Amino acid sequence: MNRTKALPPQSPAMKKVRAVLMRYASAIFFIALVGIWELVCRIGEVPNYILPSPSSIFHAFFDVEFSRWLTHLWATLRVALLGFGLSIVIAIPLAIAMVRSELMTRVIYPALVVVQATPVVAVAPLIIVLMGTGDVSRVLITCMITFFPLVVSTTTGMLETPEELVELSQSLRAPRYRETWQIRIPYAIPHIFSGLKVSITLAIIGAVVAEFVAAEQGLGYFIQFSTSFFKIPQAFAGLIFLAVISLLLFKSVTWIQTWLFPWSLPKKK
Amino acid sequence: MTQAADRAFVRMEGVGHCYNPEGGPMAVQQIDLEIHRHEFVAVVGPSGCGKSTLLRMVSGLLIPSAGNVSVFDKPVTEPRDDVGIVFQKPTLLPWLSVRKNVLFPLKHKYGRYSAKDEKRADELLDMAGLAQFADRMPDELSGGMQQRAGIVRALLLNPDILLMDEPFSALDAMTREQMGFDLLKIWSDNPKTVLFITHSISEAVLLADRVLVMSQRPGTVLDLIDVDIPRPRTEQTIQTPEFAELTARIRKHIYEPH
């Protein structure tokens, strides 16, 4: 992108300042935003139970025992990861079945769309009634919200395999499962990872939704619990934890892709 | 050419094909062609004239709706595993090294390959001038090198027939000419029956023993030309009067309405 081409000539010092600004632009913006937030809260004397200031949120982190944070964090992470894992285990075989058989596509696909079109938040209480208030229900809810993007991305990727390679496989008279495992699935890897990136952030949403409905621990539960006692700074602290683990999980998916499938990354210019 | 003693290796008799099973326009019709063992036959014709259809029929990937295709007197009724196919694009697998791409047909067909196979792959790569790139990934190679690796992959199982579907059409003009000569060298070292689809008239004349000229869709045979230019052919061949004469004859078919 050539957004910098029409600039007037600059001194080397100016260039350096620009380079630094460019590099830390998002950090500077973020800090400025937090600063303004703090100022608005102080100058406007906004009460903590309406909009807590960044400093009060910071203090709220330490009002809660570290071990309690860990318990909540682990509960949410556990549900999110189990649900995410379960949806991988379900989605990929489903995608393979749909790619290999038109009948399966006709049978499964409409059902998938119906499940996806039903708001999971609305179904969640019913699942709790059906499956109890344990981890199983929460994992199921998470799975329901995460598996659709995975099925779609895996199917799309497998169908984008070049026709020539399918012909090569046919002309070698190779067993069908090798066409799937040696050609189609690897070809779908970039798509699968796009799906995984969407799903992993949805997994946190799923876990939190499930905790809102029924839970005794977890960050979603913690936020709801804190809000009901007007401990808004604490709720914000919980929210920040959620955002951080969501980001870390998202990053982990990218790291795993870079580590295991470096060829599948878009080429750098 | 129809004498019993001179048995055709690949034989097509009255072959026609319609992609719509319920009827409709034919893609190709009334094709009669005999290819001899280790002969190099090029097929030229306008886009969409069914050149690739012809190639897929010989490989058994497509069973014609009319007529018969046979290889060594045996009718082709299912995909044959004794053909090597080179596609328009190299279609190497981006997650495998060049060597593993070349070995892929074995890995794919049997699930494994031996050290002996690896040695053969390396010899073939060496012959194609790719020895030092064996451990590279496909995207580190130029288009021409990738296509050479594609040809080497097609040769791995030592097929009797090499089917090439416009293999050089994605390359730039200079690379393309060089690839033609490279292919002739590979072919003279490993004689194969070659069916070479192209839309370049000069490429067809430069490479082939015979050139089949096809008409607009539905593709039929307009002419079958013997290329009596001695081998080995080089860049000088292009300047000979015979070469000019033959390309002119083909051009006449393509540009003049029939």
| CB-closest option in B79, B95, B139 to A173 | B79
The C-alpha atoms of residue A168 and residue A181 are separated, in whole angstroms, by: 14
Section A195-221 average pLDDT: 94
| A128 shares its domain with A247 | yes
| A74 shares its domain with A187 | yes
Strand partners of residue B221: B214
Sheet of B74-75: strand order equals B28-35, B10-17, B66-71, B74-75
Please indicate if any CB of chain A lies within 8 Å of the CB of B89: yes
- Could you tell me if residue A229 is inside a domain? yes
| CB-closest option in A165, A172, A186 to B91 | A165
Q: Is the dihedral of CA B236, B237, B242, B247 positive or negative?
A: negative
Cβ of B85 and A168 within 8 Å? Answer: yes
Contact A258, A193 (CB under 8 A): no
| A123 shares its domain with A20 | no
| A37 shares its domain with A157 | no
Cβ of A168 and B111 within 8 Å? Answer: no
Residue A104 Cα, gap to closest chain B Cα (Å): 24
Query: Whole-model pTM above 0.95?
Result: no
Residue closest to A185 by CA, chosen among A88, A48, A55 = A88
Q: Give the chain A residue whose CA is nearest to the CA of B57.
A: A171
**The tokens of A177 are what?**
């499962």
The C-alpha atoms of residue A193 and residue A195 are separated, in whole angstroms, by: 5
Query: Is residue B256 scored above 80 in pLDDT?
Result: no
* Domain containing residue A148: CATH number: 1.10.3720.10
Cβ of A263 and B107 within 8 Å? Answer: no
Cβ of A171 and B79 within 8 Å? Answer: yes
Say how many C-beta atoms besides its own lie within 10 A of residue A258's C-beta: 12
Residue B5 Cα, gap to closest chain A Cα (Å): 30
Mean pLDDT of chain A: 92
Question: What kind and span of H or E run contains B119?
Answer: helix B115-127
Cβ of B59 and A183 within 8 Å? Answer: no
Please indicate if any CB of chain B lies within 8 Å of the CB of A71: no
Strand partners of residue B163: B85, B195
**pLDDT per position as a tens digit, B121-147:** 999 999 888 999 999 999 999 999 999
| A36 shares its domain with A113 | no
Cβ of A171 and B85 within 8 Å? Answer: yes
| A206 shares its domain with A127 | yes
**pLDDT per position as a tens digit, A45-81:** 888 888 999 999 999 999 999 999 999 999 999 999 9
Q: What is the ipTM of this complex?
A: 0.87
The C-alpha atoms of residue A264 and residue A111 are separated, in whole angstroms, by: 31
Number of domains in chain A: 2
Query: Is residue B2 scored above 60 in pLDDT?
Result: no
Q: Which domain does A139 fall in, by range?
A: 63-264
